Chain A
Amino acid sequence: MNKIFETPIYEYARSSDQDAVAPVRHSVVVVGAGPVGLAAAIDLAQQDIPVVVLDDNDKVSFGSRAICFAKRPLEILDRLGCAQPMVDKGVVWDTGKVFRDTRQIYGFELLPESEHHRPAFINLQQYYFEEFLVRRIRELQAAGKPVDLRGGNHLAAVGQHDTYVSLEIDTPEGPYNLEAEWLIACDGAKSATRTMLGLDFEGRVFEDNFLIADTIMEADFPTERWFWFDPPFNRGQSALLHKQPDNVWRIDFQLGWNIDREEELKPENVRRRLRAMLGEETKFELEWTSIYTFQCCRMEKFRYGRVLFAGDAAHQVSPFGARGANSGLQDTDNLVWKLKLVLDGKAPDALLDSYSDERVLGADENLLNSTRSTDFITPKSEASRNFRDAVLDLAEAYDFARPLVNTGRLSLPCIYDGSSLNGPDCAGLPPNLRPGAPAVDAPLADGWLLERLGNRFQLLAIGAPAPSDLEDGGITVETLKVDAAANQTLARRYLGDEKAAIYLLRPDQHVVARWREFDRDAVIAALKTATARV
């Protein structure tokens, strides 16, 4: 059995901060060493921003928890220098099947478009995911980057001030105080930071329980996501089967609302359910079991003064559609470059309000999608159940009903339509790459487009002349020139039917603005807009 999640990997060690006479002030403190906090720390350290990460624990995630990582987060992790080992270890999948009772009603494929570096999804246990992030932090530390991961550090109190945040931290050796210019709270759905600051977390609780049984078995199920409505082994409810690395299978059973949790979690009862599903002859071991309920909610804003909330601390969604950890990674992707410009004095702190605006938009999209999936999987009214059952009745025979079957929608990155950071669009270019959209990958002669983008402002000049770089207010824009004729996939994705285009891209690879030809004044104006210097 895998015990990695029971081994300390960032044990408490005394910091010199604990012996300082006055509280030491750090540029950025991150609370929570989960997927989102660790990703934030890596991003900051890569940009040479000193960061301290606090966590009361010292181990990776207990149990597999988040297991699906989507294409856009993998692209972000490429920028953070740790996607490859995750993809190597992870299970790549692209096929889903939906069953009702004992019959398959249909199957579907994700990301039919080829010529992208990263797959639609990988499955990887959260404990491995976090382990790879911690390894990346160790690598950065070895390279002299300013990142400090402190286990056994429990945030006991937090105070907002005009120019800093004060922190009181408990450790096994007693308390100490710290100050942070900026605090990023990545301390999960039950965020203590949020509670201590008295901030609301509004939303809707779903009255249902799901049993997770991570099962180790040699099974010849294909590498596909299987979802059942009303299977013989879980009548009137749903079930899910999904493969993880090391022959671990995620099996989810919907249980309903009125259950006896302790009774359901007894190993003999979990085993009884699994035997009914897998057959008496299948040999299996249980790695981890848990019962979860969930709610769909978010904070009103993700920035309160000098405290920035990211991941589940800011927004919580149902697990259908893999929008939890995936959206948290998009939060810090959006945040860190803005924080760097503010810390460097190159942009006003109003730029950080756009973090809240843009990621609230992303969270609302995720909440909408995951709430709809939940309503389909667990209809809460008779009318809703009737339509759901009617869709399932029709889906096997008629194609039209299949797009209405909702067992979780593919998590696609949010396009920041209407963001105050967006510059002008150019008619005739592909709409999916409009201002606010993340850059779409495409092959280059010697690698991938997205490997060449990010961490600074860039002009992507396709078939149009542009200077190799330009500068405004200490912010540099580098040009990546691409020959349209020699890169036809890229040209098709970025130009559509046009012959040339200039894209201005943010450090998080999102499009600021685009034009048919280079115009220095227009680019500088868009750069000012994208950095809130207007």
Chain B
Amino acid sequence: MSPLNTYPNIDRPDDFYAELLALHEGRSKAESELINSRLILLLANHIGNRQVLSAAMRAALDPGAKEVADTKA
């Protein structure tokens, strides 16, 4: 069983999404990619749990990968 929470967990999701986009406003493609990479590393460190990180990586690679999708939070 994957421990990755794939159920809504972000307070005021529209505000979060707008903040995420604002991060990239006026940036070049290379800058944006670097910002995203740094963001992933920061969030990964915050999560810490290797099982969760592996499950998230599998889900990102193949959305709907069964082992992740079948899990209830």
User: Is A bound to B?
Assistant: yes
Q: Give residues in A with beta carbon < 8 Å to B.
A: 369, 372, 375-376, 381-384, 387, 393-394, 396-400, 402-404, 406, 409
**Contact partner, A400, options B6, B14, B25, Cβ 8 Å:** B6
**Contact partner, A396, options B18, B21, B27, B63, Cβ 8 Å:** B63
Instruction: Decide if the interface of chain A is mainly helix, strand, loop or mixed.
Output: helix
Is the interface on chain B under 10, 10 to 19, 20 to 34, or 35 or more residues?
A: 20 to 34
Min CB gap A31→B, angstroms: 35
Residues B7 and A384 in contact, CB atoms below 8 Å apart: no
Residues B8 and A372 in contact, CB atoms below 8 Å apart: no
A384 to chain B: which residues have CB within 8 Å?
Answer: 21, 24
Known contacts A381-B24, A381-B25, A383-B32; A403/B69 CB under 8 A: no
Residues A397 and B63 in contact, CB atoms below 8 Å apart: yes
Q: Give residues in B with beta carbon < 8 Å to A.
A: 5-10, 13-14, 17-18, 20-21, 24-25, 27, 29, 32, 59, 63-65, 68-69
A391 nearest CB neighbor, chain B only? B17
Residues A400 and B64 in contact, CB atoms below 8 Å apart: no
Min CB gap B10→A, angstroms: 8
B71 nearest CB neighbor, chain A only? A398
B29 to chain A: which residues have CB within 8 Å?
Answer: 382-383
A396 to chain B: which residues have CB within 8 Å?
Answer: 63-64
B12 nearest CB neighbor, chain A only? A403
Q: In the bound complex, how far is the Cα of B69 from the Cα of A396, in angstroms?
A: 10
Q: In the bound complex, how far is the Cα of B63 from the Cα of A26, in angstroms?
A: 65
Top 8 A-B residue pairs of the complex, sorted by shortest distance between their CB atoms: A383-B24, A397-B64, A398-B6, A403-B13, A383-B32, A397-B69, A393-B63, A399-B7
Supply 6 further A-B pairs (C-beta < 8 A) apart from A394-B63, A397-B63, A400-B5. A369-B14, A381-B25, A384-B21, A387-B21, A397-B59, A400-B9
Known contacts A381-B24, A383-B24; A372/B14 CB under 8 A: yes
Count chain A CB atoms within 10 A of each CB in B8, B10, B69 and give the residue with the most.
B8
Q: In the bound complex, how far is the Cα of B8 from the Cα of A409, in angstroms?
A: 17
